[in-house]
Amino acid sequence: MPRRLQAYVRCPRGCHHLHCGRPGREKGIGPPALERTGGNPRLPRPVTKELGRLRRRDHTSHTVIVPPKGGRASALPPKRQRPPGLCLPAWPVQNAAVAEDKQSGIEPRSFLTCVTEVAWLLGVGDVSKGPKDRNARHLAHTVRKPLLERASLPEEWFAPLMAAAVYDPDPSFCRWFVEPAVYAFGRRRVMAALVDYLRTGTDAERAGAVRAWYSAHVPLRADRSPAYGVGGVRDPALDESQDIKAAWLEASLRVFAEATDLQMRHRVLLGLPTSHTAYPLSLHELLESTLASARVHPDPHIRRWAAAADHEGV
């Protein structure tokens, strides 16, 4: 039998080797794919040439090795997950921004519509193509630099910029819309708009507001954008936001209490500090009621957040 068609099998001694008539070794070294078979004696012998075609991975539950016709598949247990953090379950890295936003209800076309409007206002990119021929991320990259290079932005651009930031499914790239809005319209106004989305928006818009809130704290530099201020001088009133941050905490606590979706509660917890001193006195009563419900919540991650808050409050 040609060597390229020799099959991988499990040695009775417990090691892996090529089925070529040689005796197995106690500490034989085989390909990594063999370790995933678990030594199942019922598993068909996929040849080397077809190993890649016969194997597929199901990231949501377990690994399945697809046998040839007439064979039997082997379902394997999932890989060990990294232990969850203090408050939240071990979710996938959000920079991928794929699985989470399918569940949150944000459709790619919604983001594409928002980016297309911004590109049309700027007069950049080819927005004459049909939706199927346009790429939202490519358009977002196209408008990023022109937005920062403008010394000012028209008033009617504020709402489209905020919509694009909220509907952007990637928490890193939504900064491309938040940052120029902060430079041109001020941090205070941008944060206030995100608070409004959190208060009255849909679940998808609330999730987008939580993602964009981090980018609203972007540090400002005079050499970053001419919209910083004339002569490198900026009006501090544009960025005064202490009361807006307090409004964000209040809205987050109320959304946490009202939300029926567990994932939405997890998202809101990302922006809720566990230290009582981070909340103004006017919110302490609301904080205590939130902690009371979190302590007895069936979700262990929410209870862990409450325990951390109780520990820091001692």
Residue range 177-200, pLDDT digits in tens: 999 999 999 999 999 999 999 999
Average pLDDT over residues 79-85: 37
pLDDT (tens digit per residue) in 240-290: 999 999 999 999 999 999 999 999 999 999 889 999 999 999 999 999 999
**What's the per-residue H, E or C state across 8-70?**
EEECCCCCEEECCCCCCCCCCCCCHHHHHHCCCCCCCCCEHHHHHHHEEECCCCCEEECCCCC
Please, which pLDDT band fits residue 312 given cuts at 50, 70 and 90?
confident
The pLDDT value recorded for residue 300 is 95
Average pLDDT over the chain, rounded to whole?
A: 74
Taking residues 40-60, report their average pLDDT. Answer: 40
> Which pLDDT band, with edges at 50, 70 and 90, does 130 fall under?
low
Mean pLDDT of the 161-177 span? 95
The pLDDT of residue 93 is above 90:
no
Residue 219 has pLDDT above 90, yes or no: yes
* Max mean pLDDT range (62-66, 103-107, 287-291): 287-291
- Cα 269 to Cα 239: distance, rounded to the nearest angstrom: 25
Q: For 7, list phi and psi in degrees, rounded to 5.
A: -95, 155
Q: What pLDDT band is residue 218 in, cutting at 50, 70 and 90?
A: very high
How far apart are the C-alpha atoms of 76 and 38, rounded to whole Å?
8
Kindly tell me if the per-residue pLDDT of 117 is higher than 80. yes
**Using alpha carbons only, how large is the chain's radius of gyration in Å?**
27
For the record, the structure tokens of 53 come out as 């075609």
In the predicted model, is pLDDT for residue 39 greater than 50? Answer: no
What residue has token string 């082997």? 74
